[in-house]
Amino acid sequence: MNRGQPQRSFRRSLGASPSPLEALGARRQGHAAPRLFWVLEGAGGRGEAEGCLRRGAKAFSLFVFCAAGGQEEPRSFPERGWMPAAHEPPSLPFPQHFSWLRRSEIPGAEVELHVHLDGAIRPETILYFGKKRGIPLPGNTVEELMKYVSYDKPLTLPKFLEKFNYYMPAIAGDREAVKRIAYEFVETKAKEGVTYVEVRYSPHLLANSGVAPMPWGQNEGDLTPDEVVQLVNQGLKDGERDFHIKARSILCCMRHMPSWSLEVVELCKKYQNDSVVAVDLAGDETLKVEDYSEHKKAYEEAERCGIHRTVHAGEAGPAAMVKEAVYVLKAERVGHGYHVVEDPELYKELLKTKMHFEVCPWSSYLTGACSPDFTKHPVIQFKKDRANYSLNTDDPLIFNSTIDKDYGIVKEHMGFTEEEFKRVNINAAQSSFLPEKEKQELLNKLYEAYGMVPNAS
């Protein structure tokens, strides 16, 4: 194409638009659904381009072609109006050549309850904000960055946690970045076929004001944990509007920072009717709650105020941590919980009470939480005992995965059938932290998608 001679026409690329069945089939086989790109060649100007965009799909991904090197930079924006000024790349003219992705309208039929927002950021977005803010990163391309951030062989949990140090300084403390990662997260999950997701994060780890100690070696700024929650809420709501799925959030207390926990619960209370549905406790399981009374006080306040509660427990830690989560913190769900099977009496009791376990198969392999032999994974016991559990991605950026990766693992190595997948997702919906009316609407959507009668799980 001659970039010096603008052509006012659309050019179709990457083949024909897939039918819903073709796209669904590709995704079920572990491939990304076929995507249709349109390239607007040499738009006559900003106004003309804006009109073209408004006539486009309800949701699209905009790829800005940078002048230097012809690199593409993914950008996600709704159809209404032009892109906000805050999203425009610094020091770049309005691009004359760009394309956008039109998402297939495939109804989702999966529920995800355990995924971390700061572990689900697009690498392109990290690179963009690193460059914009002048923050050094270990790579200048997606491929280079991912060599440091992601991995595919088991590491210890502490080694896994070190991965966040490579990229979080590029995101934390920036209003545009915080809102954008929430919005893009919803888009990503919609493309994966997830119809409802609960995403969790620590407001303090995305802030740079009113936090001590300051995370990620940042300088003092003016983004507080409270405003972080507001920005994430807005990003999630914008994503819901544009990508037609439901997204809610869970605010995380951190085991190594008990002084933050009461504030986290206060934020849960403040935003309980604005996207936030629960509180979580994450971090190093060797730090027991009995040694940090602030966590216990925070969870007591959450229970008193009707805030839902989940706790990371029994991931790398022993069954005793699951017992602490359930009986001391009054958790309604357990994040991971694999090692509960090592205490038969506790496991039997939790089966009886239908305690929900948020299982993350690929994560449990890469963090060394479970045996590298998938045929010995505790989820096989969960399946055999018809336990109440869900399948989740945990940190898909670092694990370089999607929800289909986890589904593929349990299908290939653990004998999961289509019926078990349906049961797992219905369990997830029933154990979600949605209000009862919305929960029933979600269940009805799943029953319809699965061709099932209600209560047939």
The SS3 call for residue 389 is strand
Residue 15 CB burial class (10 angstroms; 0-12, 13-18, ≥19):
exposed
What is the distance between the alpha carbons of residues 337 and 346, in angstroms, rounded to a whole number? 12
User: Which two three-digit tokens encode residue 171?
Assistant: 């995101």
The SS3 call for residue 275 is coil
How far is CA 91 from its chain centroid?
A: 31
The SS3 call for residue 113 is strand
Q: Which helix (H) or strand (E) holds 143?
A: helix 142-149
Sequence-ordered list of residues with C-beta below 8 angstroms from that of 218, at least 6 positions apart, any chain: 169, 172, 173, 208
Contact 148, 306 (CB under 8 A): no
Find where tokens 């913190």 sit: 329
Q: Which helix (H) or strand (E) holds 384?
A: helix 378-384
What is the distance between the alpha carbons of residues 376 and 379, in angstroms, rounded to a whole number? 9
DSSP E strands, 186-232? 194-201
* Single-letter residue type at 233: N
Residue 222 CB burial class (10 angstroms; 0-12, 13-18, ≥19):
exposed
What is the distance between the alpha carbons of residues 225 and 204, in angstroms, rounded to a whole number? 5
Name the CA radius of gyration of the chain, rounded. Answer: 22
What is the distance between the alpha carbons of residues 432 and 110, in angstroms, rounded to a whole number? 12
Sequence-ordered list of residues with C-beta below 8 angstroms from that of 55, at least 6 positions apart, any chain: none
User: Which two three-digit tokens encode residue 404?
Assistant: 């289909």
Contact 124, 181 (CB under 8 A): no
Contact 378, 341 (CB under 8 A): yes
What is the distance between the alpha carbons of residues 362 and 377, in angstroms, rounded to a whole number? 11
Q: Active-site positions?
A: 315
Residue 343 CB burial class (10 angstroms; 0-12, 13-18, ≥19):
middle
User: Which two three-digit tokens encode residue 456?
Assistant: 């047939």
Peptide bond into 138 cis (omega under 30): no
